[in-house]
Amino acid sequence: MAKETLSNSAYLETLVARLLNECKGKDKIYIYGAGARGRYLEGFLSENGIKIKAFVETCISNTNEIKGIPVISVDESDRNYFYFLCASMRYIEDIKAQIHKRGCKNYYVVDENTVLAVKARTHYVKPSTIRRGSKYVLLYHSVLPSADNDYWNITVTKENFEEQIRYLADNYHIGRFDEEWETDDEPSVVITFDDGYANNYKFAFPILKKYHVPATIFVCTENIDTKCKFWFDKLSELDLKENTKEIHGTLRKSSSVQREQFFKNFPRQFLADETCRILSSNEIVELVDSGLVSLGAHTVTHPSLMFQSKEDQFFELNESRNRLEIITGKEVLTFSYPFGGRNIDYDNTTIKIVGECGYKKAASAFAGIHYAGDDLYQIPRNSQRNCSLPDFIHNMDANWSIYS
């Protein structure tokens, strides 16, 4: 399916109808997957009068209840129940294998589009009292006049960005990623950018100044003061069609030397234009001197860290911080994991190295809300796609609701 809008697609209506049809005559229903997707589905089913018995997970973490619904392990689940499989598509085959092993073939795979459809059709209510110390962190990448030709779907238009910032400034206390959170009880929203695109300076910074809103930019340092592109922007320039995803998957795990080797196969310069150029030293200094923008590190070469040697992980973490500290003369104590997936892009070894390198906080890229006492080395962040203000507010209210 191409770019359907959430509200008016007949195709999405069909998906929702099919989903509700699956529930008919069933009163023993599980949702396999207690992440965002599973929680969106539960909210939608509940609004339609359908109660589920439990969320099922492959491994139980420390959550054993979500909104009064038990979270059980697949080993505790009952094979006679009906399972909605509702997790990232990359895990679906594993999940199918898990329930087949238990002798159950009674399931329905809830795909990404169905999740989008149910989310758009659920009325979320932000909790009237937000827990003390809650931090809702937003993750942006690029802000540009247009979000067309946005290969990786990471651009928010400056018009939408301004509406979002104005809304946040009017409705929330806006905190900072690099301030002391342990003693700060005030629930807040925190704005972050990953990668360090120069468009943050050109298009986002004037808006942050206009509304006096602070933000943190996590800068990947290799291409500062150059016209070189990030490796993933080189890859999108090559436009290798259906191979792109697979090559991206390989390159993110590769070492920087292997990645360079790959691009040497293509006789071209890969020069960055203004949409994907990285910040210059002068721009970084101006951002930081404004007092509104803080810097965090985001490695030197943007690899998926857990696939790198320990030595390379130390290099990526130390070198990026040192470079930023030399440019600004200010300490850099925060970090964000490239790609940011827990046990997909970083693991416990990476987290340990982040601490050993002296960082005080690290940002992940899975959705959620940070509450007082949560792990400061895996702070959830909510990725922002280009969307209208009503959709932005709907997404925020949905997250406050499912993660409260």
- CB closer to Zn ion out of 19 and 306: 306
Interaction residues for Zn ion, span 24-43 (CB under 5 A): none
| 321 contact partners, CB below 8 Å, separation of at least 6 | 297, 332, 335, 357, 358, 359
The reply to whether 163 sits near Zn ion by the rule CB under 5 A is: no
| 162 contact partners, CB below 8 Å, separation of at least 6 | 207, 210
Q: Burial level of 112, CB count in 10 A (0-12/13-18/19+)?
A: exposed
- CB closer to Zn ion out of 119 and 302: 302
CB of 49 to Zn ion, least distance (A): 42
How far apart are the C-alpha atoms of 211 and 168, rounded to whole Å? 10
- CB closer to Zn ion out of 187 and 303: 303
- CB closer to Zn ion out of 57 and 195: 195
How far apart are the C-alpha atoms of 203 and 67, rounded to whole Å? 40
Helix or strand holding residue 221 (H, E):
none
Return the range that interacts with Zn ion (CB under 5 A); candidates 63-71, 160-168, 188-196, 232-240.
188-196
- CB closer to Zn ion out of 194 and 316: 194
Beta bridge partners of 8: none
Report in angstroms the alpha-carbon separations of 6 from 116, 148, 217, 397: 7, 18, 30, 16
CB of 339 to Zn ion, least distance (A): 7
CB of 214 to Zn ion, least distance (A): 20
The reply to whether 233 sits near Zn ion by the rule CB under 5 A is: no
CB of 360 to Zn ion, least distance (A): 20
Among 42, 162, 195, 316, contact with Zn ion (rule: CB under 5 A)? 195
Total chain residues near Zn ion (CB under 5 A): 3
Interaction residues for Zn ion, span 302-341 (CB under 5 A): 338
- Give the residue at shortest CB distance from Zn ion: 194
Strand-pair category, 54-57 with 107-109: unpaired
CB of 194 to Zn ion, least distance (A): 4
DSSP state of 369: -
Pull the structure tokens for residue 318.
Answer: 């130390």
Return the range that interacts with Zn ion (CB under 5 A); candidates 11-19, 164-172, 191-199, 392-400.
191-199
CB of 154 to Zn ion, least distance (A): 9
The reply to whether 194 sits near Zn ion by the rule CB under 5 A is: yes
How far apart are the C-alpha atoms of 395 and 402, rounded to whole Å? 10
Interaction residues for Zn ion, span 334-363 (CB under 5 A): 338
Helix or strand holding residue 191 (H, E):
strand 188-195
CB of 318 to Zn ion, least distance (A): 18
Binding site for Zn ion (CB under 5 A): 194-195, 338
